[in-house]
Structure 1
Amino acid sequence: MPYPHPHTSTQQPNPTNPTNPTNPTTAPPSALDADANADADAEAAKVAAARYRAPRPSIVTRAGWGADEKIREAGHVYSKTVKVAFIHHTVTGNNYRCSQAPSVMRGIYRYHVKSLGWRDYGYNFTIDKCGKIYEGRSGGVTKAVRGAHTLGFNTNSMGVAVLGTFTSKKPSAKAVKAVAKLTAWKLGLFKRNPRGTTHLVSGGGNKYKKGAKVKLHVIAGHRDGFATECPGKRLYKKLGSVRKTAARLQGR
């Protein structure tokens, strides 16, 4: 996320009125040059950020899949940024019709909140086998909403789950393409290269101890941060092509 540069005045105090330093003609050339360079750098950063942004895909809202807003906790928790997109599978059935996906999600939502005691739906986004993308945890799809998807690494990351189980069954091509479209767009908002790597600090889990600085792919599998089979070996094998496609969608 861009941070504002601290303002550095190029004005020198007016010796005839020291309480009103408004005489810009006394600014030394070096200060003027620095100010001009800062403006140029800021403009270049804006151009670079726009260059690597992908189009926003269609996203079904929580209202669209029937999320009961009364069962979740009020308010939201945010991270400072999104550095990693963790890919998951929901370990639910693969034989659902796409029209049934909202019902499956409502069941997962109730399980996360009522059984596990989480504040809301765990994943930030969910994708069905027809490639339809759904808003998961509430708080704003463009924002760095902290989810509950990868123990130890929920901060500064997002979770994307594909409906189904992909231990032995391949994910649909439409679902894989949707993962690429979604991650290209969302990671682009935070200036992340889908083919790159980054570091996250572990909050503690069954794979990395608390405080460990861990190198991860910007698009990673759940198993990369936690000892689990998720997202299933057949979906995990698709992450290389997801990274490549997402980068291409960003214009890289």
Structure 2
Amino acid sequence: MLRFLASSIGVTCAAALALPLAAPAAAGSAAPPTTGRTAQAEAYASGSTQSLPLVPLAGDRGPGEQGVSRRDVRHFSLVGVVWDDPDAELHGRVQVRTRATATGTWSGWQELETHNADHAADPGTPESTSVRVRGATAPLWVGESDGVEVRVRAEGAAGARAQSDDGAGSAAPATSPLPTGLRLELVNPGEDIPRAGDATEIPALSSAETERELLALGTGALTEQQKAKPHIGPRPSIVTRRGWGANEKLREKKFVYTKKVKVAFVHHSATGNNYRCSQAPSVIRSIYRYHVKSMGWRDIGYNFVVDKCGKIYEGRAGGVAKPVLGAHTLGFNSNSMGIAVLGTYGSKKPSSAAVKAIARLTAWKLGLHGMNPRGKTYLKSGGGNLYRKGKKVRLNVISGHRDGFATSCPGRKLYGKLGTARKTAAKYQGR
């Protein structure tokens, strides 16, 4: 018998270790419209997004420069830039500075990662071809702010030069125009509002308990060989979507599944490292809102998220033990899962707690599908800039995002720790 019950509203995954999640309960009678301070308070509680069009800057030095002049805005904590065509690339630099609400001081200029198209649904899928999908930079967590200024300079404009996470410049045509429809997205994650009776965390189980539960549920996840000698790591504690405060009204209601999970792709969120672990739920809510409302995806792209203190969070809805189709590794979302470590790890080392969490999570989830974390397997490419569509590619069972797509993600410092994660995950599986 399942130990946990799903909440009657929204989607938790406490009861979804092997069963489809229940749809959110129907909404009750509509509340009367609110205005003024009450409306602002409610928007802050539930989260909101401000969208400001970019315009040519006063005194700019050419058509390749757009931005938003320094101004007061409603409270926000995460910032990104989006544009109309999801297939268009932004060759250049995007810089932002913000004013902290608490102190009134302005930050220095901060860079946004412009090459974000590699985190996306596979080409030709319904999610990727939706009219709502837009191109976007990676989002940046800046903390609670109430002022903003942004400038976007095309490659070649004012000496701009795109930078990799290693600090090396990447060449692009000097005449590349900026994408059309550039807009600044300011995301307010809303407040943490715990509700009595909601399941906010899926507790850990031992390997034996995990095996017994799967067998009792009849998921078919264990083959005859696995039943004789299972290699499934202990299920780690996982904070549910309800636990981090997901607004289930934002995402699409239906769930989409792939056949199994053969590969775990590790990412960094590229949102910066200036967050406290207590703020991780707010960061995740911000990314979720950015992915859905700003970029036009059906849900948050990652299947799981890990913070720098090693806490694991449920990502895309549909059941933590199920093979939920994500939008994390363009061309390789089928038969895989995506794990994002909150932060930017080009020059910053990931914490040992985060690397251990990757190992614990993959030992369990890959074990459910009979995969050895230290092994290799094949995935068929859905199309990308490294492998043509239809090509069978041999990959590590625990791979970095850059193994499936030409990208700096998950940052060279985190990528360098994947060997440790593979070794530790195999130990958790008893190999």
The TM-score, its normalising length taken from structure 2, stands at 0.48
1:152-231 alignment to 2 at 5 Å? 152-231=331-410
1:154/1:44 CA distance change after superposition, 3 Å = closer
Deviation for aligned residue 1:74:
1.0
Deviations 1:16-43 (A, max 9, x none): xxxxxxxxxxxxxxxxxxxxxxxxxx75
The DSSP-based 3-state class of the residue aligned with 1:88 is strand
1:99 aligned partner, one-letter code: S
Amino acid at match of 1:196: G
What residue number does 2:256 align with? 77
Aligned pair 1:47/2:228, yes or no? yes
Q: Tell me if structure 1 keeps the 8 A contact 2:376–2:396.
A: yes
1:99 paired residue among 278, 284, 288 = 278
SS class of match (1:246): helix
Shift of 1:209: 0.8
Any gaps of 5 or more consecutive residues in structure 1?
Answer: 1-41
Q: Structure 1 CA distance, aligned partners of 2:393 and 2:339?
A: 20
In 2: Cα distance, 1:45 partner to 1:82 partner: 16
**CA separation of 1:93/1:251 partners in 2, compared to 1, >3 Å: closer, same or farther?**
same
Equivalent residue for 1:117? 296
Q: Report the Cα offset of residue 44 of structure 1.
A: 4.2
RMSD of Structure 2 on Structure 1 (CA): 0.9
Write the letter of the residue equivalent to 1:191: G
Distance change >3 Å, CA 43–CA 153, structure 1 → 2 = closer
Give how far 1:90 is off: 0.1
Aligned amino acid, residue 215 of structure 1:
R
Give the corresponding residue for 1:26: none
Q: Based on CA coordinates, which of the two structures has the bigger radius of gyration? A: 1
- CA–CA distance in 2 between the matches of 1:135 and 1:164? 17
Which structure shows the bigger proportion of residues in helix conformation?
1
Amino acid at match of 2:280: A
**TM-superposition CA deviations, 1:205-224 (whole Å, max 9, x none):** 11111011100000000000
Tell me which residue corresponds to 1:87: 266
Query: TM-score, normalization: structure 1?
Result: 0.82
Kindly provide the amino acid, as one letter, of the partner of residue 369 in structure 2: F
Inter-CA distance 84–44: structure 2 relative to 1 (3 Å threshold): closer
Larger RCO, structure (CA 8 Å, separation 6 or more): 1
1:247 equivalent in alignment to 2:247: no
User: Quick check: which one's strand share is greater?
Assistant: 2
Structure 1 residue 95: deviation in Å?
A: 2.1
Percent pairwise identity: 72
In 2: Cα distance, 1:199 partner to 1:129 partner: 30
C-alpha distance in structure 1 between counterparts of 2:262 and 2:246, whole Å: 27
Q: SS of the counterpart of 2:265?
A: strand
Letter matched to residue 334 of structure 2: T
The SS at the match of 2:361 is: helix
| Pairing 1:134–2:310 present | no
Question: 3-state SS of the aligned residue for 1:54?
Answer: coil
**Partners of 1:90 and 1:207 in 2: CA distance:** 21
Gaps of 5+ in 2: 1-222
Return the offset for 1:145. 0.3
| One-letter amino acid matched to 2:371 | R
Residue pair 2:226, 2:370 contacting (<8 A) in 1 also: no
CA shift in 2, pair 1:215/1:107, >3 Å: same
Cα distance between partner residues in 2 of 1:120 and 1:165: 22
CA contact (8 A) 2:385 2:406 kept: yes
Q: 1:44 to 1:179 in 2, by over 3 A?
A: closer
**SS of alignment partner, residue 260 of structure 2:** coil
1:123-142 deviation per Cα after TM superposition (whole angstroms, max 9, x unaligned): 00000000000000000000
